[in-house]
Amino acid sequence: MAKNLNLIVCGAGGRMGTAVVRAIQQSAGTALVAAIDKAGSPRLGKDAGEISAAGNLGITVSDNIEPYLKPGTVIIDFTRPEASLTYIRAAAKKAVPIVVGTTGFDPRQTAQIKRLSRRTPALLSANTSLGVNVLVSLLGTAAKLLGDDYDVEIVEAHHRFKKDAPSGTALALGRAIAGALNRDLDKVSIHGRKGIVGERSEKEIALLSVRAGDIVGEHTVIFGGIGERLEFVHRAHSRDTFAHGAIRAARWLARQNAGLYGMQDVLRL
């Protein structure tokens, strides 16, 4: 009989953390062994299953990850950049693989993750949806075929509680397109228009953000040419898609050597 994949969920009381806890119960061959939340959280000491509406699981939410960092275990983390770095450091210390779905890392934090990944397998992804990562691959091909004659606009929409903008996914989509067109996204991207801005420049890539209600996640990429428009749209109907994608990533990461990976590696794209 195949051995269970033992999973630690960080941010177990958050919107994504509770989705991952539920997804683990729905996934054959996986077991939740620890649920971690921030110090001072009102969820500490409660059953992780009851918090996530997965039923009583006998797993008490804790703020201490150290006792659970054992061989054969993988961490899934959906928290905030500062918290994620704490968990990555702990994972690197014990060589425990970690899947990180947190977004909003600054360049300094990203560099730290790269250094820490030399000591343990780490997967960093702005979006663990399989559909989005297939889209990233398709966009590079489309951009190469269409070339500079088509204007590129990316519109992303998320719930009112999201703290970073543009979304990490929109940035990933933008980088895929910019790379295919030999552009530097940091130099050609714009994030809004107001007033008399003049004619659109040939190289710019717009990343426009919408924050409203409880939108889970929607990304639209527009290639606008003279006489036609090509659009790619991805809509996440629920957080379950990210949760199941993270579990698939954890299965794959458990078999890898130390290093920094992404969902494109998992899908061999």
**CA-based radius of gyration for the chain:** 20
* CA 173/CA 268 separation, integer angstroms: 17
* CA 42/CA 44 separation, integer angstroms: 6
Q: What is the DSSP string of 11-26?
A: TTTSHHHHHHHHHHHH
H helices within 147-239, ranges in order?
168-180, 185-188
* CA 236/CA 262 separation, integer angstroms: 19
The answer to whether 76 touches 242, Cβ cutoff 8 Å, is no
End-to-end CA distance of the chain: give it in Å, rounded.
31
Q: Is 3 a catalytic residue?
A: no
The residue from 38, 46, 94, 162 that is catalytic is 162
* CA 204/CA 197 separation, integer angstroms: 13
Q: Is 38 a catalytic residue?
A: no
Beta strands in 78-176 (DSSP E): 98-100, 121-124, 151-158
The residue from 70, 158, 203, 237 that is catalytic is 158
| 79-111 residues labelled b (16+ CB within 10 A) or e (exposed) | bbbebbbebbebbbeeebbbbbbbbbbeeebee
User: Element (H or E) spanning 33, and its range?
Assistant: strand 30-36
Catalytic residue IDs: 158, 162
